Amino acid sequence: MYIIIVGGGKVGYYLAKTLLSEGHEVLVLEKDAARCDAICEELGGVCTRGDGCEARTLADAGTERADMLIAVTDEDEDNLVACQVAKHKFNVSRTIARINNPKNENIFKKLGIDVTVSSTNLILEHIEEEVPTHPLVHLLTLKGGNLEIVEMRVPPNSPVVGKRMKDVAFPPDSVVCLVIGKWGAYVPTSDTIVEAEAQLVAVTKPEAEEALRAAIRGS
Amino acid sequence: MNIVIMGCGRVGAQLAAILDEEGHKVTILDRDTYSFRRLPGNFRGTALVGDGTDEDILIRAGIEEAHAFVAVTQGDNRNVMASQIAKHIFNVPKVACRVYDPLREEMYHALGLETISPTTVGAKLLKDLIMGQGG
């Protein structure tokens, strides 16, 4: 396949490298001369200097016979225009745009870009998997005693969902004193079943916070 | 009319001033507050800092009640993107877009945007002037 990549930044460079190694014909269009030279030096003469949003540059690049155009600059509007010019002026059948601002995902779809890849969203999703997304919220620190009141939400995929309170491994210094669930707020007993997405209000010690969080997340 | 202008350069500021004087409700957007120095002292419209390719900024600028949207920033692509958002997402009845690159202008014109290329127009006027046909 003949694939044109608009933008020779990090994404463009590694994309070109990968596609070349898979045996595709690749051309990178990059505005910056130094960047362009660097790519040519490393990957062979696969980079042309030029603005991939300009119809003339795309014509010179032989966009008419391209099977695909992938726009991966760090400006969303440039990616949009490069894809639109490729599609409407050169009839490229498949265009892919990188999106930096997640808000633009919907807009690009409505404006007819075939495929969008939101790099920001991808990174966020990966980070969210690593970071607790249901943090403990501090409601109140009780004066005098070394105690605080916190609120947590039960993640829907937590293994404690469906268990009885007494079977959840809460740390010794923590007591769940209120549950705000689908049917309102109530004081739990040891036989109360833990609902997914329920808010739990608990009294705990600051040093037991981490254990409490782990007990709710089941990890 | 409610009019939203994106880009407070020479053209944007002058357009805003003219429309304001004629009694229209004008909101002008620019990413840089310093650009608003070009607006006349008696400008009664709204000057708003923000990027016109951002839906939320456009909503704050009143795009939903706008009768017309004009994109005159320095960036062709930004103008084109904002104009398409105004036209296709907010259904603004009248959208005008400046595109310096004549080839891109031609294409977006064919795609249904009201575009103007100062490059083409300016070159023609200058030619007429030196050839003595300007008037």
Q: Give chain B positions within 8 Å (CB) of A89.
A: 107
Phi, psi of B33 (to 5 degrees): -60, -30
Q: What is the pLDDT of residue A112?
A: 82
Measuring CA to CA, how many Å separate A53 from each of A6, A19, A86, A112, A215?
8, 22, 9, 16, 53
Q: What is the pLDDT of residue B94?
A: 96
Work out the average pLDDT over B30-49: 95
Q: Give chain B positions within 8 Å (CB) of A55.
A: 101, 103-104, 107
Helix-then-strand count for chain B, H and E: 5, 6
Q: Where are the domains of chain A?
A: 2-127, 137-217
- State pTM to two decimals: 0.71
Q: How far is CA A27 from the centre of its chain?
A: 28
With contact defined as beta carbons under 8 Å apart, do B95 and B87 qualify? yes
Interface of A with B in 76-105 (CB under 8 A): 76-78, 80-81, 84-85, 88-89, 101, 103-104
A165 vs B133: which has the higher pLDDT: A165
Q: Where are the domains of chain B?
A: 2-130
Q: Which residue has the tokens 């696969």?
A: A46
> B84 vs chain A: nearest CA distance in angstroms?
8
- Integer Cα distance of A155 and A131 in angstroms: 13
Q: What is the pLDDT of residue A207?
A: 87
Q: Give chain B positions within 8 Å (CB) of A75.
A: 77
Q: Give chain A positions within 8 Å (CB) of B111.
A: 84, 88
B85 secondary structure, DSSP code: I
Q: What's the CATH number for A2-127?
A: 3.40.50.720
Residue B46 confidence class, pLDDT cut points 50, 70, 90: very high
A199 vs B80: which has the higher pLDDT: B80
Please report, in tens digits, the pLDDT of each residue of chain A (219 residues total): 999 999 999 999 999 999 999 999 999 999 999 999 999 999 999 999 999 998 889 999 999 999 999 999 999 999 999 999 999 889 999 999 999 988 898 888 888 888 888 888 788 777 766 665 556 777 887 777 788 888 888 888 888 899 999 888 889 889 999 999 888 899 999 899 998 888 899 999 888 888 888 888 876
Largest CA distance in chain A: 76
Q: Which CATH superfamily is domain B2-130 in?
A: NAD(P)-binding Rossmann-like Domain (3.40.50.720)
Asked if the model's pLDDT at residue B6 lies above 90, the reply is yes
With contact defined as beta carbons under 8 Å apart, do B72 and B4 qualify? no
Q: Do B76 and A84 touch (CB under 8 A)?
A: no
Q: What is the pLDDT of residue A139?
A: 80
- Integer Cα distance of A107 and A159 in angstroms: 38
Q: Do A55 and B85 touch (CB under 8 A)?
A: no
Q: Do B101 and A111 touch (CB under 8 A)?
A: no
> A55 vs chain B: nearest CA distance in angstroms?
6
Predicted ipTM of the assembly: 0.84
Q: What's the CATH number for A137-217?
A: 3.30.70.1450
Beta strands in chain B (DSSP E): 2-6, 25-30, 46-49, 68-71, 94-98, 114-116
Helix (H) or strand (E) holding B103, with range, is helix B102-110
